[in-house]
Amino acid sequence: MFLIVSAYLAILSIMAVAMMKIDKRQAQQRGQRIPEKNLWRVALFGGGIGAYIGMMAFRHKTKHTNFRIGFLVLAMLQAALLVWIYTEFGLQ
């Protein structure tokens, strides 16, 4: 159970980091941006940790309070979920 959930969260987190990097590059080049609702969807469905890491690493969306706080809260909730699943089910 833990391995499945952690793999799922890892895949979505990698997607979120990539999306933040692409959106930052597009913003700098004035290209076509990734809609904010898509960034939020990936974060909500399990990519919160990656979204927060990507936001901080690329300094993207850091001026938006809802992103700073929202992605941090999602990252903490998803990390807490991983800890809870690990303590309850172990490495099954």
Measure the CA–CA gap between 23 and 81, rounded to whole angstroms.
28
**pLDDT value of position 80:** 97
pLDDT along the chain (92 residues), means of 10: 94 98 96 96 97 96 94 97 92 70
pTM given for the model? 0.90
Measure the CA–CA gap between 6 and 11, rounded to whole angstroms.
9
Measure the CA–CA gap between 16 and 92, rounded to whole angstroms.
26
**pLDDT value of position 92:** 63
Q: Where exactly are the structural domains of the chain?
A: 2-89
